[in-house]
Structure 1
Amino acid sequence: MRVDSAQRRTLVTGGAGFLGSHLCELLLAEGHDVLCVDNFSTGARRNVEHLLGHPRFELMSHDVTAPLHVEVDRIYNLACPASPVQYQRDPVQTTKTCVLGALHMLDLAQRERARILQASTSEVYGDPGLHPQPESYWGNVNPVGMRSCYDEGKRCAESLFFDYHRQHRVDIRVARIFNTYGPRMHPQDGRVVSNFIVQALRGEPLTIYGKGLQTRSFCFVDDMVAGLHRFMEAAPGGTGPVNIGNPQEFTVRDLAQLVIELTGSSSKLAFAPLPRDDPVQRRPEVSMAEQMFDWQPHVSLAEGLRRTIAHLDGLLSIDGSPQVAATSG
C-alpha cells in the first residue's frame, strides 16, 4: 500500500453519481489518482465528462455486485441508488448493491490493505423516536416495508464493515449521510429539493406530502464531500459510525416557500397523502464529526438552493420538462 498522499490511488464506487462526481473532483484537487467506477444505473457519464481528459482520472464501467480486482490505497463505497424512487424501482437489486457491494469492496480492501469508507445513510435511523439523531441511536426501521431494501441493506452493510474490522482488521470508516443536495442532482430523482425546484421552474404546484410539517436537514454537496474526505483522512482508529449532515432543521413547507421565493415562481402548494414509512423528523447530531475531524457545514440553505436552481434550470432548458416523481424525502 502506498503511503504518499500525492501518489495515492483512490477508488470511488458510484463515482459518476451526484455525490460521487463531486467527490472525484475534490480528490483530484487533493492530488489523488482517481478510479471512478459506476454501472450507470443512476449515475450519468455527463457528470464526469469534464474529468475524462485529466491525467489522474480513470472511468470504469462495473457493477459492484460482482468482485473487482484493482490496486488501490483508498476506497469510497458510494455505489447505490439513493432516492426512494430510484431504489424502490428494483428493490432486490438495491439490496444486492448494498450488501454484495459492501462485501466485495471489503474483500478488495482486505487484499490491498486499503482504508475503506462506507457511505451509509440517515435512513438507518428509520422514523426516529429520538431527536436529533446521535450515532448511538439504534433506529426505528420497518424491516419489511417499501423502503427496507435500502434501509436494511445499508444497516447490513454497516454490520459487514464492523465485522471485517473486528475479524480481519480492515481499516474502515462508516459515514451516515443525511439529506444532501446541489448541482448534478437528477431532475427526476424524486428527492424533495429537486422535486420542488423543478415544479417551481415549470410554474406547477409544489407537491407536499402530509401537512408539510415533517422536518429535514439539508447539507450542500460541497460541505458533504469535504466531510467525507476529512473523515477518510482522519487519524487511524476513528471507525465511526459518524453522522455527516447539516444540523439546521426545516419543515418541508418552509423549504417549499423558500424555493418559490428564490425561483420567483408563481407556483402554489398542493397537498397529497404522506407515503408509508416516511420519517416525521430527521436532523443529525454532528458533534462527533466536529470533534473527530474538525468538520462543520458552511453553505446556507438559501445559497445552496440558488446554485442548485441554476443547475436544474440549465438542465430543463436542454432536456425539456420532465415529469416529477413522488416522494417527500
Structure 2
Amino acid sequence: MYALRKRILVTGGAGFLGSHLCERLLNDGHDVICLDNFFTGTRDNVLHLLDNPHFEILRHDVTQPLYTEVDEIYNLACPASPPHYQADPVQTTKTSVLGALNMLGLARRCKAKIMQASTSEVYGDPEVHPQPESYWGHVNPIGFRSCYDEGKRCAETLFFDYHRQHKLRIKVARIFNTYGPKMHPNDGRVVSNFIVQALKGHDITVYGEGQQTRSFCYVDDLIEAFVRLMGTPDDFTGPVNTGNPVEFTIMELAEKIIAMTGSKSKIIHKPLPHDDPRQRQPDIQLAKEKLGWEPKIKLEEGLKPTISYFASLIEQGLI
C-alpha cells in the first residue's frame, strides 16, 4: 500500500470541485495537500477531512511560488463564476497565468504529473455546436468575461509549451457546467441561483428569454473523469472535454427546480449579460475513447442532493 500511495497537491482544494476531489483522492489511499487562499473556497468544505492523518491544508495563493514535494498536481485554483472572477479581473488573470507558471515550475522540479482544470469558456460564444476539442473558439479578448476566458486559454498554452519544451507530463480537462453539494451559494451560477431562489420563495431570475442552453454534469461524474484522465498514459495530454452532453434550456432548468422544490416562485426575465454564450454542449467522444468515461447521473438525480445541501444551509441560517 505504501508504494501505491502518492503525495498529491490539489490547488483550490477547499473550493467546490477541489473539496470533492480531495475526498476522492483520500478514499483512493493517497496523501493529499489541499492548497487554497480561501477567496471563494471555505474550510467548511474540508472540515470533515481534517482528522485524517493523510490530509493537510495549506493557506497559499498560487500566484506566489510554492516549494514542496509532490507526485501529482491537480491545478484547480481560480474563481470560476462570473460574479467572483469579475470582482477582481486582474487578479483572476494572474491566478490563471501566474498560477499555471508556478505549478508548472513545481511539477518540473518534482518531475510530477500535472492536470490543468480548464474550462468550456475557452470556446467563448461558440459558432460550432456541440463543441469538440478541435474547435479553437470564438472569444472576445477585451470583454467582461475575458479575464477568465483568456486567462484559461493562456494557461493551456503554457501547459503545452512546458510539455513540448521540458517534456513535462501534462493533462488538460475542459470542464463544462458542473453542479452539486458544496457549490458556493452566492457564486452566481444558474443551478445554485435557481435552487436558493426557489427554496426561499423568491422570484427566479432568467436572463433573456431563457432559451440559451447549458449541459449540466453532476460533480461525482466530473471527479471520476479527473481521476481517469490523470491515470491515462503519458502520451495522452488532452485537452479533453469533461461534461454532460445532455442539453437543457435555462427555462427548462428553472421549471424543473420549481417543481422539485415545490416552490411558489415566479420566473422573471432580465437582460442577457455581456458575452453570455447562447449554447454550451460538450462533444465527449474523446473522453469516451480515451478515458472510458461518460456521465452516469441524470439531472433530476443530481439535483436532489444539491437541493438538500442548500436547504440545510438555509435551515442553519448560513444563507
Structure 2 residue aligned with 1:317: 315
Query: In structure 1, how many angstroms separate the alpha carbons of the residues matched to 2:131 and 2:34?
Result: 32
Structure 2 residue aligned with 1:258: 256
Give the TM-score normalised by structure 2. 0.99
Residues 80, 94 of structure 1: 8 Å contact kept: yes
Deviations 1:34-67 (A, max 9, x none): 0100000000000000000001101000000000
User: In structure 1, what residue type is equivalent to 2:23?
Assistant: E
Alignment of 1:56-135 (within 5 A): 56-135=54-133
Shift of residue 5 of structure 1?
6.3
Structure 1 residue aligned with 2:206: 208
Residues 5, 31 of structure 1: 8 Å contact kept: no
Deviations 1:96-133 (A, max 9, x none): 00000000000000000000000000000000000000
Residues 5, 32 of structure 1: 8 Å contact kept: no
| 1:168 correspondence with 2:194 | no
User: In structure 2, what residue type is equivalent to 1:174?
Assistant: V
User: In structure 1, what residue type is equivalent to 2:28?
Assistant: E
Query: In structure 2, how many angstroms separate the alpha carbons of the residues matched to 1:284 and 1:320?
Result: 34
Deviations 1:15-43 (A, max 9, x none): 00000000001000111100100000000
After the TM superposition, which segments of 4 or more aligned residues of structure 1 sit over 3 Å from their partners? none
> Out of 1, 4, 7, which is 1:6 matched to?
4
User: In structure 1, what residue type is equivalent to 2:128?
Assistant: L
Alignment of 1:221-240 (within 5 A): 221-240=219-238
Query: In structure 2, how many angstroms separate the alpha carbons of the residues matched to 1:320 and 1:184?
Result: 13
Query: In structure 1, how many angstroms separate the alpha carbons of the residues matched to 2:29 and 2:149?
Result: 34
Cα 1:74–1:4 shift into 2, 3 Å: farther
| 1:269 correspondence with 2:259 | no
State the SS of the aligned residue for 2:181. coil
Structure 2 residue aligned with 1:281: 279
> Out of 293, 306, 310, which is 2:291 matched to?
293
Shift of residue 6 of structure 1?
2.5
Query: In structure 2, how many angstroms separate the alpha carbons of the residues matched to 1:266 and 1:14?
Result: 36
> Out of 48, 51, 72, which is 2:49 matched to?
51
User: In structure 1, what residue type is equivalent to 2:21?
Assistant: L
Give the TM-score normalised by structure 1. 0.96
Query: In structure 1, how many angstroms separate the alpha carbons of the residues matched to 2:318 and 2:20?
Result: 24
Identity of aligned residues (%): 64
Structure 1 residue aligned with 2:302: 304
Aligned length: 319
User: In structure 1, what residue type is equivalent to 2:26?
Assistant: L
Shift of residue 320 of structure 1?
4.8
Residues 133, 283 of structure 1: 8 Å contact kept: yes
Shift of residue 202 of structure 1?
0.7
State the SS of the aligned residue for 2:152. helix
Residues 109, 116 of structure 1: 8 Å contact kept: yes
